[in-house]
């Protein structure tokens, strides 16, 4: 199964650790999710992301090919706060059906990438979700 990654699991090392197989990180390829936007979820200070349908928008991320075991491990990692939806992503300009984790409760507050290197390191260590 191909999975679209737009949050902390874009890091191939972290993805391999969570999936229980470092080779999963070697399958990562750039991808885009047209018709979706990345947004914040949770409290104002939280740095958890989700995606929402948003015509005319696009989320940059990656796709990775998951084994059955890795898929089960990611289900456990994401927990009940996220559900896996099947969507169309563009990989190398071609459409693919992929899974994407979508939070069950989201805001419409646009995602802003952190720019301070110290904050980026802190948030990468604290962020749990895709």
* CB burial string 50-86: b at 16+ within 10 A, e below: bbbebeeeebebbbbebeeebeebbeeebeeebeeee
**Tokens at 68, concatenated:** 């059955």
Rounded to an integer, what distance in angstroms lies between the CA atom of residue 99 and that of residue 21? 19
pLDDT-derived band at 34 (thresholds 50, 70, 90) equals very high
**pTM assigned to the model:** 0.79
Mean model confidence pLDDT for the chain: 84
Q: In the chain, what percentage of residues exceed pLDDT 70? A: 76
More confident residue, 69 or 129: 69
């Amino acid at each position: 199964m191909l999975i679209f990654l737009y949050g902390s699991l874009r890091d191939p090392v972290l993805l391999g650790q969570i999936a229980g197989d470092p080779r999963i990180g070697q399958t990562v390829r750039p991808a885009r999710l047209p018709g979706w936007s990345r947004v914040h979820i949770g409290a104002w200070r939280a740095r958890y992301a989700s995606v929402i349908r948003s015509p005319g928008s696009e989320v940059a991320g990656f796709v990775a090919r998951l084994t059955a075991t890795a898929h089960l491990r990611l289900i456990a990692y994401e927990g009940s706060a996220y559900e896996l939806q099947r969507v169309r992503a563009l990989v190398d300009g071609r459409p693919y059906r992929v899974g994407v984790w979508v939070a069950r409760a989201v805001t419409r507050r646009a995602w802003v990438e952190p720019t301070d290197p110290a904050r980026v390191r802190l948030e990468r260590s604290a962020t749990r979700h895709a």
